[in-house]
């Protein structure tokens, strides 16, 4: 009798090790340094998803392994990717805030048999570097194209574009120009300013001198944005009636308290506002705010991470926990679900997320905090950047 019980126990133990695996997911992002806030948002999105959906898919337990890359550093990113695949034996790679970091890792995906889910990096070209990449964030083209139509419809025919002189800035400039000239408007001047600009007064003077009716701007969120918006007000451009258009990176929620009244009325287009009204978003914001500790720090990378986890869970479901990168990616092509940001789907061809882009205006919410109030929806926007690059 004793023997049978022992045998049964042994069998049970064996079978459980055979079926209930620990599946490791490696997440690479900026968790320290100047962009730590965005890394924190990655973590908040992932934690929120796992708090709401459990840490198990079937009988497999999901374990997240975080790796820190403070600033864009392709060599370091590649080293981290290799370490995660070879040493930690992760079955999925995710995260990636900067495009160069993601690009550095895509060449090793095939050999490692590991799919990658990008939770932020927003350049169209990444998707072409490997068939094993899926993206749940946005591209600068995707968020910058609709604002061109908004500007034209608002009666603005002449626009000056001002962007920071780096990859996403140039993407934004091209996307806006393409959209705006197609609508029938004219971009009178395109200015590229260095990333390390502190004083924007001369730029404002140039905008004034150009005779444009509106300005399209793209700068990385953080100190530069604050300086730009302040200069826009202080130099009397707002008073002169020159309209301000930008993609939503400029008015990300965590910067709004600092921008304050200066930002009121600025129109941006973006894929996600923390104030988006839907039951899914309410659940998400509650869980993510709990994970991050302070709701005011919540911003768009959190939703990219949350949906990225959704995609990874679906991949694990489809492969039954076995390591098969191609099958995993194949399984999520065309996948559609209701994200906190609205209805989304993975475009089977580009593997990039198709989503609604919202026109928002910075306004004061009912509780006195500043929000991005959604006023118009552009439904089911794909990524025009990939087509433009062809």
254 scored as a contact of another protein (CB under 8 A): yes
**Cβ at position 191, least distance to another protein in Å:** 5
Contact 316/323 with Cβ under 8 angstroms?
Answer: no
Q: How far is the CB of 162 from another protein (least distance, A)?
A: 8
Q: How far apart are CA 271 and CA 354, in angstroms?
A: 10
Would you tell me how many other CB atoms lie within 10 Å of the CB of residue 11? 10
Count of positions on this chain that bind another protein (CB under 8 A)? 38
Tell whether residue 192 is a contact of another protein (CB under 8 A).
yes
Order of strands, edge to edge, in the sheet holding 92-95? 56-57, 60-68, 22-29, 92-95, 116-118, 133-135
Binding of another protein by 226 (CB under 8 A): yes
The residues, ordered by sequence, that sit 6+ positions from 158 with a Cβ below 8 Å of its Cβ are 185, 186, 188, 211, 212, 213, 214
Contact between 318 and another protein by CB under 8 A: the answer reads no
Calculate the dihedral angle through the C-alpha atoms of 184, 188, 193, 195, rounding to the nearest 10 degrees: -10
Binding pattern for the stretch 19-58 against another protein, x by CB under 8 A and - elsewhere? --------------xx-xx--x------------------
Q: Which of 83, 297, 324, 361 binds another protein (CB under 8 A)?
A: 297
Pairing between β-strand 353-364 and β-strand 370-381 as defined by DSSP bridges: antiparallel
Query: Residue 368 interacts with another protein (CB under 8 A)?
Result: no
Binding another protein (rule: CB under 8 A), the pick from 211, 223, 320, 365 is 223
Shortest gap between Cβ of 365 and another protein (angstroms)? 17
Of 313 and 370, the one with the shorter C-beta distance to another protein is 370
Tell me the sheet residues that pair with 270. 358
Q: What are phi and psi of 267, to 5 degrees?
A: -100, 130
Report the interface residues with another protein, using CB under 8 A. 33-34, 36-37, 40, 165, 191-194, 196-199, 201-203, 205-206, 209, 222-223, 226-227, 230, 233-236, 239, 254-255, 257-258, 260, 294, 296-297
């Amino acid at each position: 009798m004793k023997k049978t019980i022992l045998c049964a126990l042994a069998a049970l133990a064996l079978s459980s090790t055979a079926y209930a695996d620990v599946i490791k997911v490696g997440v690479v992002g900026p968790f320290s340094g100047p962009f730590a806030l965005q890394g924190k948002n990655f973590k908040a999105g992932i934690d929120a998803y796992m708090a709401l959906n459990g840490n198990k898919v079937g009988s497999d337990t999901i374990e997240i392994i975080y790796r820190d890359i403070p600033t864009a550093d392709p060599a370091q990113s590649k080293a981290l990717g290799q370490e995660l695949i070879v040493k930690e034996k992760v079955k999925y790679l995710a995260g990636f805030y900067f495009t160069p970091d993601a690009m550095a890792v895509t060449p090793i995906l095939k050999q490692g048999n590991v799919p990658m889910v990008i939770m932020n990096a927003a350049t169209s070209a990444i998707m072409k570097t490997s068939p094993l990449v899926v993206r749940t964030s946005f591209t600068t083209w995707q968020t910058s194209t609709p604002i061109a139509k908004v500007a034209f419809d608002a009666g603005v025919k002449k626009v000056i574009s001002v962007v920071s002189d780096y990859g996403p800035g140039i993407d934004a400039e091209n996307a806006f120009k393409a959209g705006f000239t197609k609508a029938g408007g004219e971009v009178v001047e395109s200015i590229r300013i260095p990333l390390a600009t502190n004083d924007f007064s001369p730029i404002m003077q140039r905008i004034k001198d150009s005779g444009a009716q509106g300005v399209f701007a793209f700068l990385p969120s953080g100190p530069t944005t604050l300086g730009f918006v302040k200069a826009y007000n202080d130099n009397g451009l707002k008073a002169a009636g020159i309209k301000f258009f930008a993609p939503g990176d400029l008015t990300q929620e965590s910067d709004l308290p600092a921008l304050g009244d200066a930002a009121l009325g600025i129109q941006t287009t973006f894929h996600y506002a923390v104030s988006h009204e839907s039951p899914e978003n309410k659940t998400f914001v509650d869980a993510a705010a709990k994970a991050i500790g302070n709701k005011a720090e919540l911003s768009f990378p959190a939703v990219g991470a949350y949906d990225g986890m959704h995609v990874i869970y679906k991949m694990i479901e489809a492969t039954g926990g076995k390591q098969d990168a191609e099958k995993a990616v194949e399984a999520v092509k065309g996948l559609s679900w209701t994200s906190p940001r609205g209805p989304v789907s993975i475009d089977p061809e580009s593997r990039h997320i198709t989503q609604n882009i919202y026109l928002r205006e910075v306004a004061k919410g009912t509780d006195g905090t500043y929000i991005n109030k959604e006023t118009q929806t552009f439904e089911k926007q794909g990524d025009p950047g990939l087509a433009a690059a062809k």
